[in-house]
Structure 1
Amino acid sequence: MIKKIFSYLIPIKIYETKSSLSKSIEVTWTNGELVLDSENANYSYGSLQRILRLGLKNIGYEKIVPMNHVLVLGVAGGSVIKTLVDEIKYKGKITGVEIDPEIIKIANTYFKLDEVKNLEIVIDDAFEFVLKTKAKYDLIIIDIFQDTTMPNFLFETFFINRVCSLLKSRGFILFNTMLLNDSQNLRNKKYVSEFFKNEFQIKTIPRVEVHNELIVIEKLN
C-alpha cells in the first residue's frame, strides 16, 4: 500500500526480468496502479488500457456484451481482457494468444489473469495461431508489439485476409497500431485504403495517447 501511495509521486519498480523474446519486462507502480512495460513502451494497463478501452467504447459495449467469442492476439499483462470482464461484464469465451510464456507468468502473478474464468490462454505465435484455428470470432483484438516495433506480417495481405475470414458476420476487428514516423503513417493509410472493400466498414481513431492509431473494422455480411 505504501508503494502504491508513493507511486503518485514517482514510479516504483517492483519486478524486472528478461525473456528470450523481450529485452526487458518491468512491473511498476505508477500513479496508483500496477503497469507492465517493455524497455520503451507500455505493454499493459496504464496508457495501453486507456487506448484499447477507447476502441471498445467506439465499437459499443452494448454490442460486445452479447458476443460469444473474442480473440485477443497479443495478451501481455491482459489489461484489455480485464476491461472486457470487469468493466464491460462480458461473459462469453475469450481466447488469448501470447507468444511469450514469461509475460503470462507475470500476468498471472501480478495481475491475476489466471483468475479470469472465461479465458483460455494459448502460448503461440499469432501468425501460426491464425493459420490453424478453425473457430469463428465476434471480435478480434490485435495488439502485437515487440517493444515499439510492430511485426511486418500484421500488414501483409495473407494475414489480413486470414483474420477477416475468421470474423463472423457483423463481427469487429480492433487493431492497435503505433505511428512514430512518416513511413508508418503511410503504412496505415495503405492498410485502410487498399485491403478492405465493400463487405467491410472501416474507421480510424488517430493520435490516441500521442503515438497510437486505432483501426476499427466491421464485417458487414
Structure 2
Amino acid sequence: MIQKLFSYFIPIKIFKKKSSRSKVIEVTWANGELVLDSENTNYSYGSLQRILRYGLRNIGYKKILEMEHILLLGVAGGSVVKTLVNEIEYKGKITGIEIDPEMIEVANKYFSLNEIKKLDIIIDDAFEFTLKTKEKYDLIIIDIFEDTHMPNFLFEKFFSERVCYLLKDEGFILFNTMILDEAHNVRNRKYISEINSKLFKSKTLPRIEDHNELIIIEKVA
C-alpha cells in the first residue's frame, strides 16, 4: 500500500471525525502502522502500545498466560488487546469497557477489533461499571483519557479501593497515567501512598515516554 510506504517519511491521515466524547478521532498511517489519535495525544497503537506492552512485560507474560479474565477500562482502538492476543497469545477472556461508542466503531472498521474472539466490549462508564460488576479479575488495565485530560475519579480513594477489591488474589492493576506538570507528579505520589500496603504492593515504572507513567499494583495472596 502506497500510503503505508509514504508514512515512513510523513504521517498520512486517512480518517478524521468529531466525537461527542473524545472531541476528535483520527486514524493515521505513521511509520508503517495505523495509529488512533485524539486531537492532542495518541490513543491506540504507536507510542501507547509500546507503553502498555512495557507494563505487561514487567508483570510477566508467563503470569498473564495463566490468567482467566482481564478487565480493560478504556478500550479506544484496542492496541493493548492486540498485544495480549497476538503477541502474548493470551487465550482467556477480555472484557473491555469504553464510554464512546463512536470510538468502537472506528476500532472495528480500521483495527478489526470485532474479529477478536473472547473479547466482550461493553459501552459504559468505567466508574459505573466497576460499581456494578460482580466479577473478580486477574488483571485490570486502566487506560482512560479524554484527549490529554484524565478524569478526577481515577485518582479518588473510593475508586482506587473499588478496583483493588475487584482483583483476585495475586492479581494486578496496570494504570497508565499522564504527567504534564508537577501537580500530576504530586497526584501520582498521593495515589500510591493511599494504597493499602498490607494487602497490595505498588510501584511506578521508569518512564519510556516523557509524559506517561505506569503504576503497577499487585494484590498479595
Q: Which TM-score band applies after superposition, normalised by the shorter structure?
A: over 0.9
**Superposed, which structure 2 residues align to 1:1-221 within 5 Å?**
1-221=1-221
CA distance, structure 1, for counterparts of residue 204 and residue 21 of structure 2: 30
CA distance, structure 2, for counterparts of residue 160 and residue 206 of structure 1: 22
**Cα contact 1:208–1:214 (8 A) shared by 2:** no
How many aligned residue pairs are there? 221
**Cα contact 2:195–2:202 (8 A) shared by 1:** no
**Cα contact 1:69–1:139 (8 A) shared by 2:** yes
Offset at residue 5 of structure 1 (A): 0.1
Moved beyond 3 Å, runs of 4+: none
Q: Which runs of 5+ in 1 are unaligned?
A: none
Determine helix, strand or coil for the equivalent of 2:72. Answer: strand
CA distance, structure 2, for counterparts of residue 195 and residue 169 of structure 1: 16
Offset at residue 209 of structure 1 (A): 1.0
Q: What's the TM-score once normalised by structure 1's chain length?
A: 0.99
Percent of paired sites with the same residue: 71
CA distance, structure 2, for counterparts of residue 161 and residue 107 of structure 1: 31
Determine helix, strand or coil for the equivalent of 1:207. Answer: coil
Determine helix, strand or coil for the equivalent of 2:81. Answer: helix
CA distance, structure 1, for counterparts of residue 93 and residue 35 of structure 2: 25
Offset at residue 158 of structure 1 (A): 0.8
C-alpha RMSD of matched pairs (Å):
0.6
Cα-to-partner distance string for 1:3-26 (whole Å, 9 max, x where unaligned): 000000000000000111111110
**Cα contact 1:196–1:202 (8 A) shared by 2:** no
CA distance, structure 1, for counterparts of residue 92 and residue 163 of structure 2: 20
Cα-to-partner distance string for 1:59-114 (whole Å, 9 max, x where unaligned): 00000001000000000000000000000000000000000000000000000000
Determine helix, strand or coil for the equivalent of 1:169. Answer: strand
Q: What's the TM-score once normalised by structure 2's chain length?
A: 0.99
**Cα contact 2:157–2:191 (8 A) shared by 1:** no
CA distance, structure 2, for counterparts of residue 196 and residue 26 of structure 1: 39
